[in-house]
Structures are given as C-alpha cells and as structure tokens.
Amino acid sequence: MNTLLELRNIEKKYGDDVILSKVSFTLTKGTAIAIIGHSGGGKTTLLSIMGLLQRATSGNVLVDAIDIGGLDSYQLAKLRGQYLGFVFQRARLINSLTALENVMAPAWFIRRGDNMEQQAKDLLERFGLSHRLDHKPQELSLGQLRRISLARALLLKPPILLADEPTNDLDPVLAKEVAECLLTARTEGAGVVIVTHDPNLANQADQTFRLEDGTLKPIVYNNAAS
Amino acid sequence: MLLLIWKSLLHRRLQSLTIVGSIAVGAAIVFSILAVYNGVSSGMELSKQRMGADIVIVPFGETLEPSLLLFGGAAANSYMPKELVDGVRAVKGVHSVTPQFFTHSLSADCHDIGTKNRMIGYDPASDWILAPWLKKVHKTELKDDEVILGAKVPVWAQNKISILGKWYNIIAIAEETGTTLDYSLLVSMNEARRVVSGDRTLKKVWDKMGPPSGLISTILVKVDDDANIDKVVSDIQEVGLMKPIVAAEVKKRIADQFTVFAILIGGIGFLTVLTSLLHLFSRFYTLTWERQAEWGLYLAFGATGRDIGLVIVGEAAAVSLTGSIIGLLLGSGLYKGSLTLLEAYQSFPFVHPSWGFLASIAIGIIIVFTGLGALAAWLPAHQGSRIDPSTVMTRGEFD
C-alpha cells in the first residue's frame, strides 16, 4: 500500500463561509504535491486539515488508511507524532533553545530517544550548520533558520512532510537550497505536500494543484522526479 | 521536557526571578514565624513544667523587668534578709518555699567561662528545682567545688569549668527550661556567698545590709492548688518589703504579646504568600496566551494536551520549588535575626526548636509552596492543554 494520506470530499466552513469544498486527493510514498493559489484562498486551512491540526466540517481524512474521524485529540497527537513533519511558513523556532535543541524538540515529546542528538547533529551538518549547533535563533540568519526548521521536520523521518510556503521571503539561491532539501525527502520514501506561491518550487513537484474558490484543481503534471 | 522547562525559565529570567524572589520572601517569613513560635511555645510549656514556682519574690527595690528576671538570666545583685523566708512560709495558701542567692560570674582570666552568667546558690534543705538533676547523678546536694550548668551556658572543657579563677567539677548540664535557669550556674548557697563576699563592687551592699551569710536574693513559692493566688500575694506583701511576681501573669503577658506578634507577622507572611501565588497565576495565565503558537508547535510535533499542561505546571512548580528553597535559607537567617531582635526587646521563655521540627517545617514549606505554585498554574495549564493545535499555522512569531 503506497498511499500515505488521502482526503475524500473535504469541506470546511467558518459559519456560512465555505473555505474548502469537495477537496479530494491522494499522496503516495516518494511523491511531492504542490498546492498553489492566491492568499486567503484556504491553502493553510487545507494544510492544517492534512496535518491533523484541525478537523474538516465534513469529508474523510485517512492517514496510512486510518480514518481520523473517530479519533480523539490524544490519538490525533500520537498520529501526528508518528506520521507527520511540518515546515512552517516562518521558521517557528523556539528562541530559548539552541539550534541543536530546536531540531531535537520533537523527539522530547515522541520519546524516540535512540541517538536523537547524533541524528540531529548529522542533519544540521548535512544542511551546513554544524558550526551553529549552540547558537540561539536570534543569532542566525533567515536562511539558517529555515534550514534548522527543515532539519527539525526531518529528524523523526516522518512518512508525510507538510510544508507551508517554505521559500517565502527567501532570495532565489536560498529558495533553491531549501527546495532541494525538502524534495530530497522523496528519495527516502516520504510523501511531500508543499503549499506555495513559488512557481519554480511548484514545478519541481510531481503533481500541482490550484486551490480556487475552495476547490482543488490539477493544473500541471510534471514527470516524476524521484 | 525538563530541559524545555529549564530553558524557558532561563529565557524569561527576570520574570522567573521576580516570582522566585516573592515566593522566597513568603517562605522565609513562614519558616521564621513557625520556628520562633515553636520555640516560645515550647519555652512556655517547659517553664511551666520545670520552673516549678508560682510566685517569685525579689527584693522590694529590684528594678529589673520581671520577664528578664524569670527568663532572661540577668545578673541581679539585689538582696533581702533571709528571715523573710519563714514569714512567707507561714502565709496561708503557701505550699512550699525555697530561697536562692544570686551573684554572677565574671571573666577573671583566660580559663574562665568568658561570659557574665547568673550564679545561683540554692538551699538543699528546701529546694525542689535542682533535686531532679541531682537525683539523676545520684547526689543529694552539691559540694562547694561542684556546679550544675544551665543548658545555654558555654562550656569549654568536658568535666570542669573555671569561674572567677576557681575550678569546679561539672556534675550535670541541666535540660533546657526556657527560663533564666538556662543561663545560670547552680552552686551551693555557701559557695555562692563565698564567691560574692570577695566582690569589692558589692562592699557597699554588705556594709548596708549585713554580710552575705544573712541574705538571700529570691524566694520561690509554690501555692496550694486551691489557693487564691492574688490573696497569697497580698498576704506576702504584709510579711515585709518584698516584690512578689506571679509567674503565670508574666507568662500570660508574654504569650499575649507573642500571639499578637505571630498574628501580625504571620498575616504579613500570609499576604506575601498570597501575593506570590496571584503573581504566579497571573504570569502563567498571561504566558499561556502569549505562548499559544509555541504550544501549537509542540502539538504539531505530536505533544498531547497533557504534555502542554505538564510543561506549564512544571515551570510553575520549578519556580515555586526554587523560591521555597531559597526562602528556607533566608528564613533561617530571618529566624536568628528576629530572635536576636526580640530578645533585645523582651526576655521570654524560649527553647530552640529541634532539628527534627525545623526539618519537618522545611519539608512542609517546600511541599506546600511547590504544590500551591503548581495549583496556581493549574488553570493556565488546563487552558494551555486545550489550545487549538492549528494556532501554530495562524499565530505570529514566538517570544
């Protein structure tokens, strides 16, 4: 079974406002999906639903064939820890922690204690940050913060990686670097969902959708890159 | 998670220190109040059991405060004729009497005791104060080179003590009584009179009142159980020029003063603790909302609501624990300082609390303050644990 994440007829309403309507798609292992659309169009809401951070008004979300509809908040938290990695729009690092500690933070809650520190160091080294392990976020550049955020998302080797505007505000060189890091996760079998405004990034995905008027429309099909 | 708590507290260092400081002050006040109050209560109780006198009669011209005479160990060199003892013994309602003769030790050379303590000569024929200690060492009376030391008299050698250049064998060290006896050197009446007869500063007294062998300093009186103590006091005053002090009244006055003191300082302590807890509550309540995005991030990592609650309660418990431990250190200083201050103002029966008692209130304060700190953070923790995980996607930057 290659399906990691499946959305079936997802609908999301805030009061009378329909944000998402009949959204369906499937994310399989080793593939990347890009979702583009204008600001305020519901992309972040959709990503939140995929990330089990909020519930849809109707429809089904299945993670590794598990329908999350009947799960309570504790079970959802456990599922997030087991299956999902997030790269947020901003780096979202904890200012009181060093770069290394920020990368290790997810492991503190999931309690996968085996050699996590070494794995975190390896990731930071891979992203060229081995000399910044003990630096606090306020001592680092924007690009470094993004790479730390990415390392944090990859630490627990999540099967599903969700990225919200990962290249937003970055210069082209840095954006390319972050995109490469993100899409490399496909080679390790992860499914990647990227919400972006960046057409270059969207083009590198295996499949691209446009979120328009609450519905998801496939617009471009790229050749599989994995 | 412990690292997360520690780092977060360090990151908000000033806020954390403010709360630690206010909790420490509260804990210090509570600790010192409990220790002082326990010492006074024990002193009151012990003095009741061991002092054994209902009325203490001193010479008419004695100007020292009754509390200082009974509990302070003040060296009193005032005397009255020993014939008054028989007159007092004959008063109706008096059960028993025993005279004592006071002088004081002075530092005469380098081997001496080094402090000025009251020296009490007792009357073996009528005494009931020293009898229990003498009985313990299988003696009926003290020889002229023997001494029983009060519990708070400093001792330099194991079995001997030098007083005014003469070496005495220490027969026993009395248990703490919470009274003036704790600061006294108890010797035979003859020895006390011999010591004082050589004191040139008192020559004028002997010239005026006669030789020490015909004088006493105090008469301790026990009254019958059914006697009217006011009537007994009035009748004693008829016997001659004397100043009877009703020990129970002095104790009651001191007890009343301490109750007021304890209520006043205890009230301040309570308000300090309450303020600290409100401060703690308000800080964590505010932080819970300010840190919504951070909680959301942890929830996205897979943390449960319970984990978030534990982080918040853990931070509160950590500052409360630190504050209460620092408070205990401050409290022991405050205890000694306030005791010195109180003793300078008023003599009172006091028995130092045992280490066991101090340890138990220290542990109690740590548990109660840490528990209350955690409790104050319970509501913020409860709210923190219910935060919508999607806030991580929508909220601004973190602190």
What does the pLDDT look like over A198-225, one tens digit per residue?
888 888 888 999 988 889 888 755 554 4
Query: What pLDDT does B311 receive?
Result: 87
Asked if B133 contacts B181 with a C-beta cutoff of 8 angstroms, the reply is no
Q: Does B296 touch chain A (CB under 8 A)?
A: yes
Chain A interface includes B1 (CB < 8 A): yes
Q: Which among A71, A108, A136 is the top mutation candidate for probing chain B, defined by the most B β-carbons within 10 Å of its own β-carbon? A: A108
Nearest CB among B3, B302, B390 relative to A48 is that of: B390
Residues B357 and A138: their CA atoms lie apart, in Å, by 50
Instruction: For residue B385, give how far its alpha carbon lies from the nearest alpha carbon of chain A (Å).
Output: 10
- Above 0.90 for ipTM, yes or no? no
Nearest Cα residue to A146 out of A179, A121, A120, A194: A179
Considering only CB atoms, A109 lies closest to which of B11, B293, B302, namely: B302
The confidence score (pLDDT) of residue A1 equals 54
Position B322 scores a pLDDT of 93
Residue A111 pLDDT greater than 70, yes or no: no
Q: Is A84 exposed, middle or buried (0-12, 13-18, 19+ CB in 10 A)?
A: buried
Identity of the residue in B10, B300, B388 whose CB atom sits nearest the CB atom of A96 = B10
What tokens does A15 get?
């009061």
Kindly list the averaged pLDDT for each block of 10 residues, start to end, along chain B of length 399. 81 86 89 86 70 80 64 67 92 92 62 63 85 79 87 75 82 75 83 82 84 89 88 89 81 76 80 82 80 83 86 89 94 89 71 89 92 84 78 61
The amino acid at residue B204 is K
Establish if A110 touches chain B: CB-CB under 8 angstroms.
yes
- Assess contact for B27 and B369: CB atoms under 8 A: yes
Mean pLDDT of chain A, nearest integer = 86
Residue partners of B139: CB distance under 8 A and separation at least 6: B171
pLDDT of residue A96: 84
- Whether A44 has its CB under 8 Å from any CB of chain B: the answer is yes
Q: How far apart are CA B244 and CA B58, in angstroms?
A: 6
* Res. A74: pLDDT tops 50: yes
Q: How far apart are CA B202 and CA B183, in angstroms?
A: 22
Q: Is the Cβ of A71 closer than 8 Å to some Cβ of chain B? A: no
Nearest-neighbour CA in chain A from B282: distance (Å): 21
At A59, is the pLDDT very low, low, confident or very high (cuts 50, 70, 90)?
Answer: very high
CA B225 to chain centre: 30
Q: How far apart are CA A195 and CA B246, in angstroms?
A: 91
User: Long-range contacts made by residues B226-232, C-beta under 8 angstroms, separation at least 24?
Assistant: B227/B92, B227/B93, B227/B94, B227/B95, B228/B93, B229/B54, B229/B55, B229/B93, B231/B93, B232/B55, B232/B91, B232/B92, B232/B93, B232/B94
The token pair that represents B391 in the structure block: 């806030």
Residues of B with CB below 8 A from A84's CB?
300, 302
**Residue-level pLDDT at B109:** 46
Please say whether the dihedral angle defined by the alpha carbons of residues A46, A52, A55 and A58, taken in this order, is positive or negative. positive
More confident residue, B52 or A60: A60
How many angstroms separate the CA atoms of A68 and B272, rounded?
A: 50
Helix (H) or strand (E) holding B241: none
Cβ–Cβ of B306/A74 closer than 8 Å? yes
Cβ-based neighbour number of residue B388 at 10 Å: 16
CA distance B305 to B385: 4
- Look at A92 and B297 and tell me if their CB atoms are within 8 Å: yes
Phi-psi region of B118 (alpha: psi -120 to 50; beta: other; left: phi over 0): beta
pLDDT at position B75 is 55
**DSSP class of B180:** G
Interface test with A, best of B393, B397, B398, B399 (most A CBs within 10 A): B393
Q: Rounded to 5 degrees, what are φ and ψ at B243? A: -120, 95
- Quote the tokens at residue B106: 């002075």
Please give the residue of chain B at the shortest CA–CA distance from A162: B300
